[in-house]
Amino acid sequence: MFEPGKKIGEGHFRECYAVEGEPGLCIKKLRSDLKPLQKLHLFLFKRDPNREEFLTYQSLPDELKPYFSPVVEFRGKYLVTGRPMDHDGSHSLSLSVYGRVSNEYFWSDIDRIVSLLEKYNIWFFDAFRLGENVFVQKLSAKRYRPVIVDYKRLGWKSYPAQLNLLLNSERKKKFYRRLRRFEESFRGGKKMH
């Protein structure tokens, strides 16, 4: 049994906690302070974010899995996933904390991820949202890799619901709009670390 430790982050529906004695893992569970509209959204669409992420990870093509934080255990009320760690044993930082990245390996991997998502017709809207869901994992002093830690929003049931996203062409457009903003915000330039 995994024991939650200190709270390390939160999203729209879930909170994330460190795992006692397991620095490379984290626990995701529903927020205790969900607002009425959020609860209604979950109720109407019978959406369990933890189950959705678990099933999404299982369905990822093998060539994409190294770029996504793995699901270790799904227990209904909580999800245990990997927590990216750097080569020196420290926890990797999200792009929103890290800032701009000028590492060629990192961006080569981003380009590969995008081409594979397009190949398999998978449109993760939140993957490149504001840099919160992409972590900069330092595999060595020179080699960085992106790790996507939240990857469940695939369509019109996103919050808020958007009926235009029933169309694949609209999902693709939204994905690429977010990707452009992501690259403008974080690609190249002076990095913070």
Check if the beta carbon of residue 73 is closer than 8 Å to that of residue 79. Answer: yes
Cα angle vertex 125, ends 121, 129, to 5°?
140
**Residue 150 exposed, middle or buried by CB count within 10 Å (0-12, 13-18, 19+):** buried
- Residue that has been written with the tokens 């009320």 in this structure: 77
User: How confident is the prediction along the chain (193 residues), in pLDDT tens digits per residue?
Assistant: 798 999 999 888 899 999 999 999 999 999 999 999 888 888 887 678 899 899 999 999 999 999 999 999 998 789 999 999 999 999 999 999 999 999 999 999 999 999 999 999 998 878 887 789 999 999 999 999 999 998 876 666 665 667 777 788 888 998 999 999 999 999 986 544 4
3-state secondary structure of 9: strand
The C-alpha atoms of residue 171 and residue 14 are separated, in whole angstroms, by: 23
Is the link from the previous residue into 70 a cis peptide, with omega within 30 of 0?
A: no
The total of other beta-carbon atoms located within 10 Å of residue 90's CB is: 10
Which residues contact residue 157 at a Cβ distance below 8 angstroms, ignoring those fewer than 6 apart?
Answer: 45, 47
DSSP of 151-191, one letter per residue?
Answer: ----STTSSSP-GGGGSHHHHHHHHHHHHHHHHHHHBSS--
CA distance readout (Å), 79 to 26, 70, 86, 130: 8, 10, 22, 23
Region class of 148: left (phi > 0), else alpha (psi between -120 and 50), else beta: beta
Check if the beta carbon of residue 94 is closer than 8 Å to that of residue 137. Answer: no
The whole-model pTM stands at: 0.88
The C-alpha atoms of residue 89 and residue 23 are separated, in whole angstroms, by: 9
